[in-house]
Amino acid sequence: MNKKKHSDYIAIGLTALAVIAASLLIFFLLYKINTVKKMLEGLIDILMPFIVGGVIAYLLTPVYNWLCRNLDYYFCVKLKRKQGRKVAKGLAVLLSILLAIGIVAGLIAMVVPELISSIMGLMDSMPGYLERSEQWLDGFLADYGFADGGIQAAYDSFSGDLQSWLTSELLPNLQNSMNSVLGSFFNGVVAVINVVTNVVIGFIVAVYLLAEKERFSALGKKLLYSTFGAKRGNEMMERIRYTHKIFGGFIQGKILDSIIIGFLCFIGASLLRLPYTLLVSVVVGVTNVIPFFGPIIGAVPCGVLILLADPIKCVYFVIFILALQQFDGNILGPRILGNATGVSAFGVLFAIIIFGGLFGFVGMVIGVPLYAVISSLVGEFVNGRLREKEMSMDTEDYLHLDYVEQDEQRYVKRKDPTEK
């Protein structure tokens, strides 16, 4: 009896100690939120090559699985089964990585020369824009009777003030400005080097992840079942499979949809003889990965480039992009994606705004499937609680609901205001 009481006291003491420790931890996190944020940002920077590698491996998994299945059948016939499987896996990893590198290199080869050509074209045409602007301004002043000595006097006064400002204020601060510009340029170079380094190391990490995919999966399942047991582990495995299904189906379908939209944009822009056809098509195709806002994000900078080159062609481009967006949103997208996420139009808008604000471009891409997974988990929790209370889980029963009679579990509805 005393031994049992002693054990109860120990359990109560450990519980109280855990509650106090958790409270102190939460207080520290809230009080030192900026420090914790910097620590997390530093940790993410360190782990970024592994994050990039994980994303690359995840995107290449369908290609790897397909190659592995086909090569495994061929080499297991030619060689011993174990040796043939090893050769098939190695070739599948190699071909998957080469495919990814080829896609990245192809995009760079298409975009960079076109971008340089666009910049050079704008620089060459800038003097003409300035000359036409000056002629328009002179004609405007002459038409409205401002081309007299008063305008010249105002211009001379402005020129004198400007010269005085340049010599007295701008020049003393020029050295500081140059240092700031050089510092920003150096930071930009360092950032580009970091991105390239993360991508290169990410491809190396992706090789190891694909080569050991089955083993890592087995270790994850082993850890899951050892921690949560069979029943809870099976439930979590089902949620993981559902998450993989939502994310994999959405991202792969969206990538295919964006490739088709990019090709259609290239064909349409070529027929309309729009300037910067290849650059515009790549930008529109890449940004189309983002649901809802993607075509707008891609069309705005492309429209500005075309406007500077030919304003009439810009009007054609805007009309063409609107038609292409309607085709993608109403015909092509639903045919490819189907009902992959089951998220309503409001849910798509909400997910893109919230997750885009939190995680930037990546959040806008993964926001919809992430919102679908969270909604599914919340729905399971709500339905589980209703099941425990022996109440209806059908949403239709709660439309226009007034109250629920506790004894008979009868759902009394108020009159629909839209009904006569």
Q: What is the mean pLDDT of residues 268-285?
A: 87
Q: Is the dihedral of CA 351, 353, 354, 358 positive or negative?
A: positive
What residue type is assigned to position 255 of the chain? I
Q: How far apart are CA 57 and CA 51, in angstroms?
A: 10
Closest CA relative to residue 258, chosen from 326, 150, 336, 346: 336
Q: How far apart are CA 69 and CA 108, in angstroms?
A: 31
Structure tokens at 165: 């400002």
HEC secondary structure over 97-133: HHHHHHHHHHHHHHHHHHHHHHHHHHHHHHHHHHHHH
Task: Give the H or E element holding residue 168.
Answer: none
pLDDT of residue 66: 87
Q: In this predicted model, what pLDDT tens digit does every residue of 56-75 receive, in sequence order? A: 888 888 888 888 888 877 76
Residue 399: in which H helix or E strand, if any? none
pLDDT more than 70, % of the chain: 73
Question: CA 18 to CA 27: how far, in whole Å?
Answer: 14
d(CA 55, CA 212) in angstroms, rounded, equals: 15
* CB-based burial label for 166 (10 Å; 0-12, 13-18, 19+): exposed
What is the tens place of the pLDDT at every residue in 161-174?
Answer: 656 665 666 555 65
CB 233 within 8 A of CB 224: yes
Q: Which residue has the higher pLDDT, 114 or 4?
A: 114
pLDDT tens-place string over residues 283-342: 888 888 887 777 788 888 888 888 877 788 888 998 999 888 888 877 777 777 656 666
Structure-token pair, residue 418: 């839209």
- Cα–Cα nearest to 206, from 64, 79, 307, 305: 64
What ranges in 273-344 are assigned the alpha helix state H?
Answer: 277-287, 294-309, 311-327, 333-337
- Considering only residues 113 and 180, tell me which one the structure prediction assigns the higher pLDDT: 113
Query: Would you say 279 and 338 are in contact if contact means Cβ atoms under 8 Å apart?
Result: no
413, β-bridge pairs? 401
Q: Exposure of 266 by Cβ count < 10 A (0-12 exposed, 13-18 middle, 19+ buried)?
A: middle
Residues 292 and 349 sit within 8 Å (Cβ to Cβ):
yes
The single-letter DSSP state of residue 170 is I
User: Using an 8 Å Cβ cutoff, are 60 and 207 in contact?
Assistant: no
